[in-house]
Amino acid sequence: MLMPEMSEETEGERVAISARGSLLQVLREDGTLDPDKNPDIEDLDLLRAFRQMVETRFLDERLTRLQRQGRIGFHVGCLGEEAAIIGSALALQTEDWIFPCYREFGAALLRGMPYQSFIDNLYGNANDTAKGRQMPDHYTCRDAHWVSISSPVGTQINQATGFAWASKLKGETAVTLVYFGDGATSSNDFHSGLNFAGVFKAPVVFLCRNNGWAISVPYESQTASPTIAHKGQAYGVHAVRVDGNDLFAVYRAVRDAADRARAGHGPTLVEALTYRMGGHSTSDDPGAYRDAHELEPWQQRDPVERVRHYLMDHDMWTAADDAALDAELEKRFLAAVEAAENTPQPEVDTMFDDVYEKLPWHLREQREQVRRGRRPFKGGG
C-alpha cells in the first residue's frame, strides 16, 4: 500500500526509501513551494488547472449518479488522482499528442475537447465522435491531439511509442505522452514499448499513475521491483518519481521530461505516486478488497484541496469563487445532459463508416440490406 507520508523517515513505507529512490515534491506541507524546484507556473495557467481539477471531481460525482440512475452505462473516475492527470497535461505544448488510458477525461477537456462531445460519448448518441461504437469514457478528439482510448490493458503504450518514433523520423518536434496505471507495467506492451523507446530514443513520456491498485490487485502483488521507476532504468529509459498529489511537482516532472524528449535525449518514465480514492469504475466495489480506513491518510493529501489552499493563501481564490464555479459547473452539466438525452442514437448503417477509404462491394450490399430491414429496438445500433 502506498503511504501518504512522503518523508524519508516514514516508518510505514512499504519499501525502504533508500531502495525506492528520491521523490520530487514542490508543494510543501506548510503550503509553500520549494524555491529550488518551483516550476513557475503562470498564474492564469494555475487557475485554469485548478478549475479543471474541480470540474473533473464534479463530473466524477455527477456521472456516477447518472450511471446509478441507469441513464449512462459506465463511468471510470479519477477521484484523488486529479493532480497527476491535470498537471501532466498542463505541462505539454499544443503540438504534443496524448495516448490516454481511460481515467484522464479532465486532461482531454483541458486540452480543448468540447464539453458536449464528452457528454455525448457517455450516451453514445448520434453526435458521439465514436458513433456509439465504444463504451462510455472512450472518447477521442483529433483537434485536441487526443487519440482514441484503447481498452485492453497497456496497448496504448506501444501505440504511443510508435507514434513518437514516427514523429522523430519525420523531423517533427512534437512529444507524445502516454498514461497508464501500475497494473499495465505487468503487460507485454509496457516492456516492449519501453525497450523500443529506449533503443531508438523515441520522444515519448511514459506517465504511470501508481495509484496502489490494479482493480483489486494491490501494488505489492504487482511487482517485486522497489519502484516502477526502476523498470525504466532497466531499459535505459530516464526515470523519475514524483508526488502525484502535488500539481506543481507533476507539472515540473512532465515539463522536464518533454523538454528532454524535444531536445533529442529520448524517453522518460514518470512514476506519479497517488491513490485511487474511488472504485476502479462504477462496476467495481472497492470495499470488497480494501479497508475504508486506508483512505483516511490520503484524504489529508487531497490534491484539489492542496491547490485550493495555496491559491487562497496567495489571494488568488476565495470562497465566493468556489460558489460561483459550483454554479457554473452545475449549469453547464445540466444543459449538456439535456442536449445529449434529446439527441437520437446513431443510424444503424453508420457501422459501415470509417473502416475503408472506399467501401467494398459486398459491404455496400450489406449496408443497403440494413437500410431496408427492420430497425433494432429504439432505432439505434
**Catalytic residue positions?**
276, 280, 289
Q: Which of 112, 115, 102 is nearest to 62 (CA)?
A: 115
Instruction: Enter the DSSP assignment of 73.
Output: S
Q: Output the DSSP codes for 276-316.
A: --S-SSTT--GGGTS-GGGGHHHHTT-HHHHHHHHHHHTTS
CA distances to 65, 94, 202, 260, 380 from 264, in Å: 46, 19, 8, 7, 48
Residue 200: which residues within 8 A CB-CB, separation 6 or more?
Answer: 165, 168
Q: Which of 144, 164, 169 is nearest to 205 (CA)?
A: 164
Residue the block writes with cell 438525452:
341
Q: What are phi and psi of 234, to 5 degrees?
A: -65, -25
Q: Output the DSSP codes for 202-222.
A: --EEEEEEE-SEETTEEGGGT
146 in helix, strand or coil?
A: strand
